[in-house]
Structure formats: structure tokens, C-alpha cells
Structure 1
């Protein structure tokens, strides 16, 4: 009933990576939980982890089939069902959090995605999320343009120029997975003090100082 061993792309690399690693069931679950918590506490939308989500969804389907084959008198059936419910909750919460961020910062997110495409970088959104963001943006444009008809003194530029962005200068709690030397406390200040963080340390810090470390997996948000 446990997760099966699986081979998959190195999940810390881009989606275009050709390197494969062996990852254990426990590592898949840990990675899913880290992915979910990071997305939950990061002010911006993070690079999508569709590989992890797809693996978990496949395992949920497999586990549900096995659960149906168990007798209702088998006590372990409820235990396994709780495990499935936990996995489903993490995946659902993770995807819902990403959709909420898209709805909140859709214009900003689409502009950032365009910049990544121009630079030849991987997009943060999955194909489904990107389509949702485009459709949502067009719907918002139509809605506000319709509202403007009742406000003759306002033009579409009045609201379209007000791009809502995530506050990457907000403070977050983090746990370091490795020793990090010379980390700037305030990345916006060239004269910012530098600190060394030992592996396993838990600190509160400005998100902008560690955003790249979160994305490459050197630190986790907590």
C-alpha cells in the first residue's frame, strides 16, 4: 500500500533536464510536503512541480484501488484511507494556492512569464496554469472595460497600469538544508550586512534575500 519506488527527473532541476535519479517513496512524500509548504508561505508563485504532483496522483489512484479490495472489517483499511486523504489534501492545497496567486497577481505573473520566454528560461506556470492565467486575464479585461462604460471620466489605462505584485520584501521563516555563507540580510541594499547560516538553522529573514535559495532547494520555508 506504500508508494512504489520510482525513477524520475531530478526534481531540483528544470523540466528540460535529461538527468535521471532514483528517488525513494519517502523522498517523494517529503518533496511533496516541502513543495506544498514552500508554495504556501512564499509571497510569489514558485516554479511548478508537476512531476511531483503527477507521481502523487498516480499513487493515490493505485492506493485507492488496493483499498477497495480490502475487507471492511480490516482495521488497516481506515489507516490507508487516512494516508490517501493526507496526500490528496496536500496536492489540492498546493494547486489551490497557486491558482489563488494567479488570480491575485495575474498581470504581473504573465509579464514575468513573457520575460522568461524571451530569455529562453523555463516558465514557472504549467501549461494548464498558463492557459488559466491567460483566460482569467482576458476575462478581467472584459469586465473592467465594461465597467468603464459607467465611468466616463476613467480610462482603461487608469486600472490597467495598476499592476498588483507580490510583496517579496515580506519576512518569512526558513530552515536551511545546507551551510550558507555570506547571505545578505537586505538584498536591496548594496551595503547590507552578510550572515552565515549553518545547516539546520531556523531564522526569520526577508524573502527577497532567499528566494533563489528556496527555488533551488537549499532552504525550505516553514
Structure 2
């Protein structure tokens, strides 16, 4: 099954000025790859990133289609009824405070010049250049805007 997603939703430069939206058909594998990238970025980022609802919607549509074909629904309900002691919701009352100064692993998708290294101190800041496909460890707050824009990928 193929689904489609607006190309501008994944523009690595974050340009939202295009008024025309182009639909691109995606296979299940391509949608999963986009979802995995969004998941990895969100997992490794210490703060909340903009949502990728188009990817989630597309993936959910494909899952629904697969469920209709497999009819795994009754089996799933049977398995859940045997699960002893489902986790409580107490964790929802504790606020999560992200540490934006934590270090992350990343891979650069493009050449980027002049990234300011912000280590959370008041000391003089250094600049670093990223080469395409370079991998490095850096504080998240130095690259948060690059993660959001899709120019780098957390790994």
C-alpha cells in the first residue's frame, strides 16, 4: 500500500512559504524510515520538537490497512486481558524538565558553517563547521534549531 505526504512537510530548510503542496507517494518502508528519524530525534533531544503529524497520520493509515487485512484485533485484546498489573499513571504527575545542555550524538545531512558551541557557561563561545555526513557529539542547545529544521539527525 502506498500513501502520500506533502513534500513541504519535510523541507529540510523549514520553508513554509510555498503555497502549492505537492503530494508524493510513499511506500510503507519510506514512511517507517521517516517515522524512525522523527522518533530518534525526539528520543535524543532533551526538549520537545515540533510534531510530525503528517508522518504519524500516514503511518496510522497504513497500520489500519494492515490490520484490516490481518484481523489481529481480537487476538490483541485476548493478549492484553492476560497482562498482569498494567503500569499505573502516577508518572504523569511528575513534571519532566529537559536538560538542554546534555550532549547528543548527531549526523549532519548538509554542510553547515559557523555553528556556535554553547556549553551553558558564560565563557567565550567557539564555532564549528559540519561537513555532510559528519558525526559528532555536541551539546543539544548548540544544535536544537538544526534538529528542528532537519539539517542534522540525532543518532
TM-score scaled by structure 1?
Answer: 0.51
The question of 1:217 aligning with 2:139 is answered no
Decide which of 100, 104, 113 is 1:168's aligned counterpart: 100
Decide which of 26, 33, 37 is 1:24's aligned counterpart: 26
Deviation at residue 15 of structure 1 after TM alignment: 8.6
Q: How many residues align?
A: 131
1: distance between equivalents of 2:107 and 2:92? 23
- Structure number with higher helix proportion: 1
**Structure 2 residue runs without a partner (length 5+):** 73-90
1: distance between equivalents of 2:139 and 2:125? 12
Which structure is larger by alpha-carbon Rg, 1 or 2? Answer: 1
Q: Which structure carries more relative contact order (alpha carbon 8 Å, separation 6+)? A: 2
The question of 1:186 aligning with 2:79 is answered no
Alignment RMSD (CA, Å): 2.9
Deviation at residue 173 of structure 1 after TM alignment: 0.5
**Structure 1 residue runs without a partner (length 5+):** 69-80, 82-99, 106-164
1: distance between equivalents of 2:105 and 2:59? 26
* Preserved CA contact (<8 Å) 2:103 2:140: yes
Cα distance change of structure 1 residues 52 and 197 upon mapping to structure 2, 3 Å threshold: same
2: distance between equivalents of 1:60 and 1:53? 10
Deviation at residue 16 of structure 1 after TM alignment: 9.5
TM-score scaled by structure 2?
Answer: 0.71
Decide which of 52, 66, 76 is 2:69's aligned counterpart: 66
Cα distance change of structure 1 residues 7 and 39 upon mapping to structure 2, 3 Å threshold: closer
